[in-house]
């Protein structure tokens, strides 16, 4: 099926190296579409199914997409590129085999929130993604008997490991469908029924699964899980112990990184964290990856001293698509190696562990997605009658929540529900303040 999609893309004029947008509801069809774009030698650019039209246009334009692969529910008049329906692509005569790319060719472009109000696209080459996949597969012994539950959205880079990590080892993918995308009980049922052995997700998703299993009908998490790999956000120190009660023997690891470091850059495997830990640290670099904690003077910080985390080596992305200035600001050369300046605050422990301490700017994480508070504020200020707006991330005992304070024009009363309706035209759902 993937080779049929690849053939249809070729017939539509997509050449190796061209970019193809993928806007499909979550599920197995996303996997087929992604593999089809890959087999054609093209670059895949995921676009969430609920992406507002204006933001989708910005992504397709900045990404220089030659075509949009969809399920046919999008109005062709709403996009400026040709549309190919997946159902039509699947009836094409399949290619005899996939196009084999150069490792430095761009594999995918993932768009993250931009402080200027315009999303920015990270160009990740095959080399960088495979560096992470090879390390994780070897470290956790991933093989043909393993199955991964695909909780992550396609536009979130954990999905790259869910698909290519398992398939490259001969394993299987359990595809969560669109109807179940936000339902932890459905995830648990799929995990138990299809005997998932690997779970890769953001910490909040695991927390919901554990809470369900701890307070539910006694089903628990079954007995198939052997590795749980978390990334994309703070990893609470309570999670390893709670998992051990429900899935004894399952290995637990927090992985740190950013989209610009191809899925993950560091790893910290732990079973019972020390009592004084409030979160699981980033850990130590993956194979062929290096870390620096850098002071404002550009020097390496001593142990326990806070600085900006730089990550270098084979996992580093090419840069930002069609944004040379921003690329030059964040991707730098030092002592013969290319580094990505993460904007994360971190410090080294004496044993070589890197601890994440927060952000040095207005970028936050919400359910694994990177969000620039400035993009939310900019969207709010485009609404008539809004004079000013400030977005914040509220943290406490539960999951983090986005919120906003809005100042109206003189004499105007603003209703939160009306503001949310306006924002739904401008922002994806995960960026709309509660």
How far, in Å, CA of 100 to CA of 38, rounded? 9
382 conformational bin, left if phi > 0, alpha if psi -120 to 50, beta if neither: alpha
The string of pLDDT tens digits covering residues 145-202 is 999 999 999 999 999 999 999 999 999 999 999 999 889 999 999 999 999 999 999 9
Q: Looking at the chain, how many residues does it have?
A: 434
What are the residues facing 347 on neighbouring strands? Answer: 355
Would you call 318 helix, strand, or coil by DSSP? coil
Q: For 96-107, give one letter per residue: b (16+ CB within 10 A) or e.
A: eeebebeeebbb
Residue 115 pLDDT > 70, yes or no? no
Packing angle, helices 203-215 and 239-246, rounded to 10: 40
Q: How far from 129 is each of 28, 96, 179, 301, CA to CA, in Å?
A: 21, 25, 29, 29
pLDDT of residue 253: 97
381 within 8 A of 363, measured Cβ to Cβ: no
How far, in Å, CA of 209 to CA of 207, rounded? 5
pLDDT of residue 366: 82
The string of pLDDT tens digits covering residues 419-431 is 988 888 888 888 8
How far, in Å, CA of 273 to CA of 116, rounded? 39
Residue 330 pLDDT > 80, yes or no? yes
Which runs of consecutive H residues, i.e. helices, occur in 228-303? 239-246
Residue 114 pLDDT > 70, yes or no? no
Confidence of residue 397 (pLDDT cuts 50, 70, 90): low
Confidence of residue 31 (pLDDT cuts 50, 70, 90): very high
pLDDT of residue 4: 98
pTM: 0.84
Q: Which residue has the higher pLDDT, 364 or 361?
A: 364
The string of pLDDT tens digits covering residues 40-75 is 999 999 998 888 888 888 899 999 999 999 997 777
| CB within 8 Å of 68: residues ≥ 6 apart | 20, 21, 22, 23, 47, 60, 74, 79, 81, 82, 83, 84
Mean per-residue pLDDT over the chain, rounded: 91
**Distance from CA of residue 206 to its chain's centroid?**
15
232 conformational bin, left if phi > 0, alpha if psi -120 to 50, beta if neither: left
Confidence of residue 378 (pLDDT cuts 50, 70, 90): confident
What are the residues facing 355 on neighbouring strands? Answer: 347
90 conformational bin, left if phi > 0, alpha if psi -120 to 50, beta if neither: alpha
How far, in Å, CA of 328 to CA of 313, rounded? 17
Q: Give the full edge-to-edge strand order of the sheet including 106-112.
A: 83-85, 65-70, 19-23, 43-46, 106-112, 120-125, 319-320
């Amino acid at each position: 099926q993937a080779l049929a999609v690849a053939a249809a893309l070729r017939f539509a004029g997509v050449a190796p190296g061209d970019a193809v947008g993928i806007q499909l509801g979550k599920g197995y069809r996303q996997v087929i579409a992604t593999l089809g774009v890959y087999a054609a030698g093209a670059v895949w650019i995921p676009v969430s199914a609920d992406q507002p039209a204006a933001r989708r246009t910005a992504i397709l334009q900045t990404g220089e997409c030659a075509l949009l692969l969809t399920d046919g529910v999008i109005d062709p008049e709403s996009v400026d590129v040709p549309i190919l329906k997946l159902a039509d692509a699947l009836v094409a005569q399949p290619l005899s085999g996939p196009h084999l790319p150069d490792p430095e060719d761009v594999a995918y472009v993932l768009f993250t929130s931009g402080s200027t109000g315009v999303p920015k696209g990270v160009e990740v080459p095959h080399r960088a993604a495979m560096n992470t996949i090879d390390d994780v597969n070897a470290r956790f012994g991933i093989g043909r008997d393993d199955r991964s539950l695909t909780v992550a959205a396609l536009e979130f880079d954990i999905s790259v490991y869910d698909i290519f990590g398992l398939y490259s080892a001969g394993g299987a993918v359990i595809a969560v469908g669109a109807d179940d995308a936000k339902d932890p009980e459905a995830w648990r049922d799929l995990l138990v029924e299809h005997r998932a052995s690997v779970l890769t997700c953001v910490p909040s998703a695991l927390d919901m699964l554990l809470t369900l299993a701890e307070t539910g009908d006694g089903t628990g998490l079954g007995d198939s899980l052997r590795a749980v790999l978390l990334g994309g956000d703070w990893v609470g120190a309570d999670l390893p112990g709670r998992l051990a009660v429900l899935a004894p023997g399952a290995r637990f690891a927090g992985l740190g990184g950013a989209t610009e470091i191809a899925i993950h850059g560091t790893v910290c495997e732990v079973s019972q964290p020390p009592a004084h830990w409030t979160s699981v640290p980033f850990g130590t670099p993956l194979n062929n990856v290096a870390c620096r904690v850098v002071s404002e003077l550009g020097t390496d910080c001593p142990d326990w001293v806070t600085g900006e985390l730089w990550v270098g080596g084979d996992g580093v992305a090419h840069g930002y698509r069609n944004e040379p200035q921003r690329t030059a600001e964040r991707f730098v050369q030092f002592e013969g190696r290319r580094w990505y300046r993460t904007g994360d605050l971190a410090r080294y422990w004496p044993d070589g562990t890197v601890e994440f301490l927060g952000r040095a700017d207005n970028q936050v994480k919400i359910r694994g997605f990177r969000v620039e508070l400035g993009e939310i504020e900019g969207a709010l200020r485009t609404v008539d009658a809004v004079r000013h707006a400030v977005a914040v991330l509220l943290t406490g005992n539960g999951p983090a929540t986005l919120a906003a304070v809005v100042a109206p024009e003189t004499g105007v009363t603003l209703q939160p529900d009306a503001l949310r309706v306006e924002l739904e035209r401008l922002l994806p759902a995960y960026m709309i303040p509660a």
